[in-house]
């Protein structure tokens, strides 16, 4: 993979396509969980790989390529989310918080469906904190919200998920 990355950095489109094929499902999964909509996730995935192509020369190898790509994908999905929020005129800044039920107790499909039902900001905070491992401080910085709002969003989302999963 190292050779493929170096070739892609040199402008080799076939090498970049190989990287795309290797990582597209993971990038799509991140975007889908953050955005909760298949079409928006597909668009964000394309945008993320466009950004990767444009910024590939900035990747120095200080971290794993997958980590760098994950960061680009997350930031791209958040940018798409912000743009959609701005254009819809909907600004959900209510205090919502989430906490994931252990996956051993919940079928993955049920959890994914529950995550998709969450309000936009709560879903973003939940995915970033519970699934992607970001801290509330990092989430606050990414989403331009207070740390307390991130925690509150996470707590509320957790409550919603638990109540929905208990119904099933």
- Span 86-132, pLDDT tens digits: 665 544 333 223 333 344 444 567 777 888 889 988 998 998 888 88
* Averaged pLDDT for residues 54-58: 90
Q: How far, in Å, CA of 34 to CA of 80, rounded?
A: 10
Q: List pLDDT tens digits, range 10-28.
A: 999 999 999 999 999 999 9
Q: How far, in Å, CA of 2 to CA of 18, rounded?
A: 12
* 128 strand-pairing partners: none
* Cβ burial, residue 164 (10 Å; 0-12/13-18/19+): middle
Tally of CB atoms within 10 A around 79: 15
Which structural domains are found in the chain, ordered by start? 1-91 (1.10.1740.10), 92-168 (1.10.10.10)
Q: Do the Cβ atoms of 157 and 125 come closer than 8 Å?
A: yes
This prediction's pTM: 0.64
């Amino acid at each position: 993979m190292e050779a493929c990355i170096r070739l892609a950095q040199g402008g080799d489109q076939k090498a970049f396509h190989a990287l795309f094929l290797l990582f597209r499902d993971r990038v799509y999964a991140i975007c889908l969980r953050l955005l909760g909509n298949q079409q928006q996730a597909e668009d964000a995935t394309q945008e993320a790989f466009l950004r990767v192509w444009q910024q590939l020369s900035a990747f120095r190898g200080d971290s794993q390529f997958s980590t760098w790509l994950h960061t680009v994908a997350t930031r791209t999905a958040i940018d798409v989310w912000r743009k959609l929020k701005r254009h819809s005129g909907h600004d959900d800044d209510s205090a919502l918080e989430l906490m994931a039920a252990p996956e051993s107790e919940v079928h993955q499909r049920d959890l994914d469906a529950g995550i998709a039902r969450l309000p936009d900001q709560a879903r973003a905070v939940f995915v970033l904190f519970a699934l992607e491992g970001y801290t509330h401080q990092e989430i606050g910085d990414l989403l331009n919200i207070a740390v307390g709002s991130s925690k509150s969003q996470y707590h509320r989302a957790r409550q919603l998920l638990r109540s929905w999963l208990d119904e099933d």
